[in-house]
Amino acid sequence: NAGVTQTPKFQVLKTGQSMTLQCAQDMNHNSMYWYRQDPGMGLRLIYYSASEGTTDKGEVPNGYNVSRLNKREFSLRLESAAPSQTSVYFCASSRTYRDSYSPLHFGNGTRLTVT
Amino acid sequence: GQQVMQIPQYQHVQEGEDFTTYCNSSTTLSNIQWYKQRPGGHPVFLIQLVKSGEVKKQKRLTFQFGEAKKNSSLHITATQTTDVGTYFCAGPTGGGGSQGNLIFGKGTKLSVKP
């Protein structure tokens, strides 16, 4: 039972390069999320998908795009990477967005460095 | 906007000492969740509190939800080296019991000296 799987685990980009972070969950969850974690800043929501076919901005969406490919997969794209996007990125899923009893399940994270 | 604040930011304890982290929200929360992140790891869900004044225990961990549902605490009795990590509280932005987006506190990083 893999849970939430993120790829890649590590990535180094040069400023201006693009890349896509992949995320897949096998728990049949409806809702998926992308967070970034920076030292001293906690976890901040970038984008989320409450259900298949929908996506919405979170707290820090600038510079990112997302795609909910199907119920299992939710990708995050950096079109033109900037040093400020150096961070650890976590994908998460929950059974449903509209349920108080629905904790988040996180992937192992992607450590991204932009030089 | 809504904020969730956690104190302290760091806590260093001797193994066997107790530890407490506090979480305060600027608004009333429908529920609060606690997560633990081991060094180099990902956040892992610990517990959710829903009712005003609720107290839940998990072995040496005691979680409390304030009467006004605006604050919460996590207390660890007799810390062990396995307790090392960062503890986050998180509350939903949505009202009326909906999940909404979770707002995370910045976490309390616990280190335990053997």
What separation, in Å, do the N-terminal and C-terminal C-alpha atoms of chain B show? Answer: 41
Residues A6 and A109: beta-carbon distance below 8 Å = yes
Does B92 contact A103 at a Cβ distance shorter than 8 Å?
no
Q: What average pLDDT score do residues B18-22 get? A: 98
The reply to whether residue A107 touches residue B41, judged by beta carbons under 8 angstroms, is no
The answer, for A48 touching chain B at a CB cutoff of 8 Å, is: yes
The structure tokens 């892992």 sit at B44
| Residue whose pair of structure tokens reads 């998460």 in the numeric block | A92
For B66-100, write each residue's pLDDT tens digit: 999 999 999 999 999 999 999 999 988 765 444 56
**Contact yes or no for A97 and B106 at CB 8 A:** no
Closest chain A CA to residue B92: A100
- The 10s digit of each residue's pLDDT in A28-68 is 999 999 999 998 888 999 999 999 999 999 989 999 999 99
Those residues whose C-beta lies under 8 Å from the C-beta of residue B82, and which sit 6 or more positions away, are: none
How many CB atoms neighbour CB A9 within 10 A?
10
User: What does the mean pLDDT of chain A come to?
Assistant: 93
Contact B88 A42 (CB under 8 A): yes
- Tell me: pLDDT of B1 over 80: no
Looking from the CA of B33 toward its CB, the CA atoms found within 13 Å total 24
- Alpha-carbon span A3 to B43, nearest angstrom: 13
Residue A1's pLDDT band, with cuts at 50, 70 and 90, is low
Contacts with B44 (C-beta within 8 Å, 6 or more apart), sequence order: A106, B35, B36, B37, B38
The two tokens of residue B35 are 């997560």
Q: Check residue B30 and give its pLDDT.
A: 87
> What pLDDT score does B102 carry?
85
pLDDT value at position A98? 66
* CB-nearest partner of B99 from A40, A41, A102: A102
Taking an 8 Å Cβ-Cβ cutoff, which residues of chain B contact chain A?
A: 9, 30-31, 33, 35, 41-45, 48, 50, 88, 90, 92, 97-102, 104-107
Residue B34 pLDDT grade (very low, low, confident, very high; cuts 50, 70, 90): very high
Q: Which of B2, B1, B76, B96 is nearest to B34 (CA)?
A: B76
CB contact under 8 A, A108 and B98: no
Residue B72: per-residue pLDDT: 98
Which residue is associated with the tokens 């407490």?
Answer: B20
Residue A41 with chain B: CB contacts under 8 Å: 106
Among A69-78, A92-101, B50-59, B99-108, the range scoring the smallest mean pLDDT is A92-101
| Contact list, B97 vs chain A (CB under 8 Å) | 100
DSSP 3-state of B47:
strand
List Cα–Cα distances, B90 to A47, A53, B106, in angstroms: 17, 26, 9
Nearest to A100 among B30, B42, B90 (CB): B30
The reply to whether residue A31 touches residue B99, judged by beta carbons under 8 angstroms, is yes
| A98–chain B Cβ distance below 8 A for any pair | yes
